[in-house]
């Protein structure tokens, strides 16, 4: 049985001892993207991409996707990447991760996002920044 010696707080930490020839360690995990998305946020048609970006335009108080793209060029880049992915038979997952879930992987994704994750050719990170 483990017992903690010394001051106890609400923060979490862990200790480790690792022997390695190189300080870089490859850790692989598998996640189900759908577990981070509501069903309506998994998109597989061009029409659904158009609808989603129209909704995003409304969130940004724009009257149309074209106005959104003019003011926020990054949104146009994301839109184009979504369209390209759909035409290649991929699905688009609009998801989110929380650091309050208690799940270590979800906390990692919340803090770090997807941008630094090595992926295979059948995965395209369209937007993956972490942090707040």
The reply to whether 7 falls in a domain is: no
Query: Which pair of tokens denotes residue 41?
Result: 């946020």
Q: State the DSSP H helix or E strand holding residue 61, giving kind and residue range, or none if neither.
A: none
d(CA 71, CA 128): 21
The reply to whether 85 falls in a domain is: yes
- Given a cut of 90, whether residue 113 has pLDDT beyond it is no
Report whether 113 contacts 131 (CB < 8 A).
Answer: yes
The reply to whether 12 falls in a domain is: no
The reply to whether 126 falls in a domain is: no
Domain count, the chain: 1
- Given a cut of 60, whether residue 77 has pLDDT beyond it is yes
Q: What is the pTM of this model?
A: 0.75
Residue 34 sits at the vertex; the CA angle it makes with 95 and 25, to the nearest 5 degrees, is 85
d(CA 120, CA 132): 27
């Amino acid at each position: 049985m483990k017992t903690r010696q010394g001051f106890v707080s609400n923060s979490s930490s862990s200790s480790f001892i690792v022997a390695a020839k190189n300080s870089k360690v490859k850790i692989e995990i598998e996640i189900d993207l759908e577990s981070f998305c509501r069903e309506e946020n998994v998109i597989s048609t061009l029409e659904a991409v158009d609808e989603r970006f129209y909704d995003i335009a409304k969130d940004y108080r724009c009257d149309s996707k074209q106005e959104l793209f003019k003011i926020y060029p990054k949104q146009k880049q994301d839109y184009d990447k979504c369209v390209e992915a759909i035409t290649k038979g991929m699905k688009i997952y609009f998801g989110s991760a929380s650091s309050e879930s208690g799940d270590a992987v979800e906390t990692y994704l919340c803090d770090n996002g997807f941008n630094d994750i090595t992926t295979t050719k059948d995965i395209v990170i369209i937007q993956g920044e972490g942090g707040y």
